């Protein structure tokens, strides 16, 4: 199980170029963001979820 640290990516600027790093743990292109964090937008606060490889979400109780 991967615990998410944030709902969106972390931007790191190198000179004038930006690199976006995954903070949700769901990216298929680790350590870079691939937009998978969009799946976490409607998570309910205080609940824990796990995601399957196919993108399905299940609440952990």
**Structural domain contains residue 36:** yes
| Position 24 confidence tier, pLDDT thresholds 50, 70, 90 | confident
What would the pLDDT profile of 6-16 be if each residue is shown by its tens digit? 778 999 999 99
Q: Which residues sit opposite 59 in a β-bridge?
A: 49
DSSP notation for 5-57: S-SSPEEEEETTEEEEE-SSS--TTTTB--SGGGGGTTPPTT-EEEE-TTS-E
Q: How far is CA 49 from the centre of its chain?
A: 12
Helix or strand holding residue 25 (H, E): none
**Structural domain contains residue 2:** no
**Structural domain contains residue 45:** yes
- Can you tell me which residue has the tokens 């640290």? 5
Q: Which domain holds residue 47?
A: 10-60
What would the pLDDT profile of 33-59 be if each residue is shown by its tens digit? 999 999 888 888 888 888 888 888 999
Spatial separation of the C-alpha atoms in residues 15 and 30, rounded to whole Å: 22
Q: What is the pTM of this model?
A: 0.73
């Amino acid at each position: 199980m991967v615990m998410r640290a944030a709902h969106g990516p972390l931007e790191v600027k190198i000179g004038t170029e930006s690199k976006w790093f995954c903070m949700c743990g769901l990216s298929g292109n680790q350590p870079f963001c691939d937009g998978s964090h969009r799946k976490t937008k409607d998570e309910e606060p205080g609940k824990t979820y796990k995601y399957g490889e196919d993108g399905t979400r299940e609440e952990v109780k």
